[in-house]
Amino acid sequence: MFSRLHSDIQCILDRDPAARTAWEVLTCYPGLHAVVLHRWANACWRADFKWVGRFISNFSRWVTGIEIHPGAKLGERVFFDHGMGIVIGETAEIGDGCTIYHGVTLGGTSLYKGEKRHPTLGKDVVIGAGAKILGGFVVGDGAKVGSNAVVTKPVPAGATAVGNPARISGYVGENQQAEVVDNANQTLASPQVVAGKAVLHPLTQAVDMRGSLAAMEFASQCPFTPKRLFMVHGVPNKSVRGEHAHHECHQFLIAASGSVTVSVDDGKNRGSVVLNSPDRGLYIPPLTWGSQYQFSSDAVLLVLASHEYDDADYIRDYKTFLDDIGTIA
C-alpha cells in the first residue's frame, strides 16, 4: 500500500513543476486524495458492498471536488491536476500514467445498464481542461485531447484531438520537418525520408501551356510491382482513415486531387507529410503503421498495393503492431 502511495506522490512530483515536496503533495493535492479514496471505494464495490463504495465516492466528491464512480477502473500513476469538476462514469477505465486536468468529463451516451457506456483511456493519455469524452470507445496510448474538446469517436494511439467536435490535428512525436517537404509550391528534387523506411518520392512531371502531367514508371520509380489499385475519396475532414499496418503488403500513396495528411510510424520513429500534389507519392513499407486524416473536401487518395486484398495481412491493433515489431527486432 505504501509503495503504491509513494508511486502516486512521485508521479505528481515528476509531472507538476509547482509540486515542491512529498509532504506538500500528500497534504495539499486533492487529486491524490481522490485516487486514494477511489481505491477504497472500488474495493468495496468489487466486494459487493455497493452502498459503502458509493458513500466513500460521495465523501470524496465533497472533499476533493472530483467525482469518480466506485465502479470505474484506475491504473497506476494517474494524476488529476487541479481536479475540480472532474466527472468519471461507472464503466470508464483509465490506463497507467494518465494525466487529467480540471473540468474533464468521461461520460456516457447510453442509458442501458450492463453496457460499456464510458470511455477507456490507454496508457499515458493526457486530457486537457474542460474536455468531454463521451461514449464507450478507446482513446489510444499516448494520445492527447485538447482543452474543451468534445470527443465522441475513438482517438488513435499517439494522436492529438482538438475542437468541437474533435478532429485529429496531428500525432505526438511526429517529424514535423517532413511536412515542410511536401508542399505543392516546392519542387521535390529527390526522395525524402519521412520516418524509418517510409519515403516521399518525386514523380516525373511535364508542364506546358496545356497543363501538367505526372507519370510514374513502375519498373524504375515504384519500389514494388503493384497488383492492386484503390482510391479513397469523399472522406469527411474530421475522419481518420488507415490506422493499420501490413505484414507483407507495400503501398504507394498519391494525392490525385486535393490534400490529405499522412502519418507513418515504424514503432521507433513517426513522421507526417501533407500530400497535396500528384507529382509525388509516399512509399509505405510493410510493418509501418499508417494513418490518413485532414482530408480536403475534394481529396482523392490513390493507393497502389503490392498484394491483392487479404484481411489476414492487416495489423489493426497498435499494441499488436508494437509487439510484432519487437518480436522481429
Helices (H) and strands (E) in the chain, counts: 7, 29
- Whether the per-residue pLDDT at 177 is higher than 80: the answer is no
Q: Which stretch of 11-25, 29-43, 160-174, 192-206 has the lowest confidence by average pLDDT?
A: 160-174
Note whether 279 and 207 are within 8 A (CB).
Answer: no
For residues 126 and 97, give the distance between their C-alpha atoms in angstroms, rounded to a whole number: 9
Map out the domains of the chain as residue ranges: 2-171, 174-328
What gap in Å lies between CA 293 and CA 239, rounded to an integer?
6
Q: Which is more confidently placed, 112 or 179?
A: 112
CB atoms within 10 A of CB 160: 21
- CATH label, 174-328, candidates 3.10.50.40, 1.20.1630.10, 2.60.120.10, 1.20.1600.10: 2.60.120.10
Whole-angstrom distance, CA of residue 195 vs CA of residue 128: 28
What is the rounded distance in angstroms from the CA atom of residue 31 to the CA atom of residue 101?
10
pLDDT grade for 46, boundaries at 50, 70 and 90 = very high
pLDDT for residue 178 is more than 50? no
User: Would you state the pLDDT for residue 179?
Assistant: 43
CA dist 35 and 100 (Å) reads: 12
According to the model, what pLDDT value does residue 1 have? 66
Q: Residue 223 in contact with residue 250, Cβ under 8 Å?
A: yes
pLDDT in tens, 88-134: 999 999 999 999 999 999 999 887 787 899 999 999 999 999 999 99
Instruction: Find the mean pLDDT for residues 76-81.
Output: 95
Q: Which is more confidently placed, 214 or 52?
A: 52
Grid coordinates standing for 298?
475534394
The stretch 244-268 carries a mean pLDDT of 93
pLDDT band at 209 (very low <50, low <70, confident <90, very high): confident
pLDDT score of 249 more than 60? yes
Residues 22-48 as b or e (16 or more Cβ within 10 Å = b): eeebbeebbbbbbbbbbbbbbebbeee
Q: Is 244 a catalytic residue?
A: yes
The average confidence (pLDDT) of the chain is: 89
For residue 182, what pLDDT band results from cuts at 50, 70 and 90?
A: very low
Transcribe 37-106 into DSSP letters. HHHHHHHHHHTT-HHHHHHHHHHHHHHHS-EE-TT-EE-SS-EEES-TT-EE-TT-EE-TT-EEETT-EE
Confidence of residue 306 (pLDDT cuts 50, 70, 90): very high
Confidence at residue 327, expressed as pLDDT on a 0 to 100 scale: 60
| pLDDT of the residue at 324 | 84
Q: What is the pLDDT, as a whole number, of residue 181?
A: 45
Task: Return the sign of the alpha-carbon dihedral for residues 39, 45, 51, 54.
Answer: positive
Q: Cell numbers at residue 290, please?
A: 499508417
Please check the confidence at residue 176 and state whether its pLDDT lies above 50: no
**Rounded Cα gap, residues 203 and 215, in angstroms:** 6
| Residue written as grid cell 470507445 | 137
Q: What is the CATH code for 2-171?
A: 2.160.10.10
- Of 33, 201, 244, 250, the catalytic one is 244
